[in-house]
Amino acid sequence: MRNLATTIVTGCLLVSALSRAGDTDKVVVGRELGSVLAWRLGPEAVEEVCRSLDPDGAEARAKALKTWLEKNAALIQEVDERVAEVVPLAFPPRENVDAVQAVRGQVRKIVLEPMRSAGSPEDVVAMCKTLADPANPRWNSNGMPHVVEGLAALYDWKVQRTAK
């Protein structure tokens, strides 16, 4: 449930940032990109941050991440491909800027925000310790149905955008 909440918050924050530009297309695509990328990037980002904060749980988190990546490989590939198709259409790249990497970086920051604002350093370490449990929802999210729905919405947006 926490993963779903993080995904929703991420989508909302990305939409908020994009809505300042005033482009409703970007708001729609931003919401869906935020949702699918939060699911896609969250486990790796959290595992990386927790590695140094809770070294005792590093091996368990790495194993849980590996299992999550293997279980979700097909959907992860779909997310990566759809993001690579949609981002350049929604955010035309500027010179020397990889728009896909910029969007991924922004979503990663948003995904990690709850850890930064969790309170004391001890609270963050405690959060990392809970993630050492392979039964933690972070490692058991298969992205259903929100990732599949987000991918469909991004595909629809892409088709409408390229048909113009």
User: Which one has a higher pLDDT value, 160 or 118?
Assistant: 160
pLDDT grade, residue 116 (50/70/90)?
A: confident
Q: What is the mean pLDDT of residues 54-77?
A: 98
* Exposed e or buried b per residue across 46-80, where buried means at least 16 C-beta atoms within 10 angstroms of its C-beta: bbebbeebbeebbebbeebbeebeeebeebbebbe
Q: Which domain holds residue 47?
A: 2-163
* Alpha-carbon distances of 111 from 11, 106, 163, rounded to whole Å: 10, 9, 33
| Eight-state DSSP code of residue 115 | H
The arithmetic mean of pLDDT across residues 138-145, rounded, is 93
- Tell me how many domains the chain contains: 1
Average pLDDT of the chain is 87
- pLDDT-based confidence at 70, cuts 50/70/90? very high
Pairwise CA distance, residues 7 & 119, whole Å: 20
Residues 44 and 81: their CA atoms lie apart, in Å, by 18
Question: How much is the pTM?
Answer: 0.83
Q: 3-state DSSP helix/strand/coil percent for the chain, to nearest 5?
A: 80, 0, 20
Burial class, 44, CB count within 10 angstroms (exposed 0-12 / middle 13-18 / buried 19+)? middle
Look at residue 50 and tell me whether its pLDDT is greater than 80. yes
The Cβ of residue 119 has, within 10 Å, a number of other Cβ atoms equal to 9
